[in-house]
Amino acid sequence: MSSSGNNVLISEKIKRIYAITAELEALYPGRHFTPDGHMVGSIGEVLVAEHYGLQLLTASYETHDAIAPDGRYVQIKATQVNRIAISSEPDYLIVIRLLPDGSFEECYNGTGAEVWNAAGPMQKNGQRSISLAKLIKLNREQKDSDRIQRR
């Protein structure tokens, strides 16, 4: 299957996850079935890998999730809320916000140092937090040469 075929397939499956989530929430008012944690991270990694032509590394690989076609190491972060957390400084970073229709919004695509330096202090869990608003602002300042090109 072509890469663009995979993109459509992945988006449709994610759309179905959110549809099932909505059905469960309608059946059980007051309960939330929002995908979170590892599922959101894995969804984000697969979406970004497909859309940017990245090769995913093993899930336990330290700091980075993928390698770009030009050899750059990339960390991928996905969220459904207004912030992300990072625990180490990646070479390059792509941050996306997942949307219920199976698509995503790119919030940041550039060097990891910019985000690491702008993130808040280290928390007890070993992570540093940064808002999507700040990421979007930092994203506007990135040079094209520091971005991973989308296919």
pLDDT at residue 2 above 60? no
Residue of 3 and 107 predicted with greater confidence: 107
Closest residue by Cα to residue 34 from 56, 51, 19: 19
For the residues of 37-62, what is the DSSP string, one character each? Answer: THHHHHHHHHHHHHHHTPEEPPTT-S
> Does a structural domain hold residue 151?
no
Residue 50 · residue 10 · CB < 8 Å: yes
Residue of 61 and 6 predicted with greater confidence: 61
Residue of 77 and 28 predicted with greater confidence: 77
Q: Cα–Cα distance between 26 and 72 in angstroms, integer? A: 44
| Domain containing residue 68 | 3-146
> Does a structural domain hold residue 22?
yes
> Does a structural domain hold residue 123?
yes
> Does a structural domain hold residue 79?
yes
Q: How many domains is the chain built from?
A: 1
> Does a structural domain hold residue 116?
yes
Q: How confident is the model at residue 3 (pLDDT cuts 50, 70, 90)?
A: low
> Does a structural domain hold residue 37?
yes
Per-residue model confidence as pLDDT tens digits over 97-144: 998 888 899 999 999 999 999 999 999 999 999 999 999 999 999 999
Q: Cα–Cα distance between 57 and 54 in angstroms, integer? A: 9
Q: Outline where the chain has alpha helix (H).
A: 3-27, 38-52, 112-118, 132-140
> Does a structural domain hold residue 119?
yes
Q: Cα–Cα distance between 116 and 11 in angstroms, integer? A: 30
b/e sequence 121-142, b meaning 16+ C-beta within 10 Å: eeeeeeebebbbebbeebbeee
Report residue 97 as tokens: 């916000």
Q: How confident is the model at residue 31 (pLDDT cuts 50, 70, 90)?
A: confident
pLDDT at residue 8 above 80? no
> Does a structural domain hold residue 57?
yes
CATH of the domain at 125: 3.40.210
Per-residue model confidence as pLDDT tens digits over 73-105: 999 999 989 999 999 999 999 999 998 888 899
Residue of 59 and 116 predicted with greater confidence: 116
Give the pLDDT score at 4.
Answer: 64
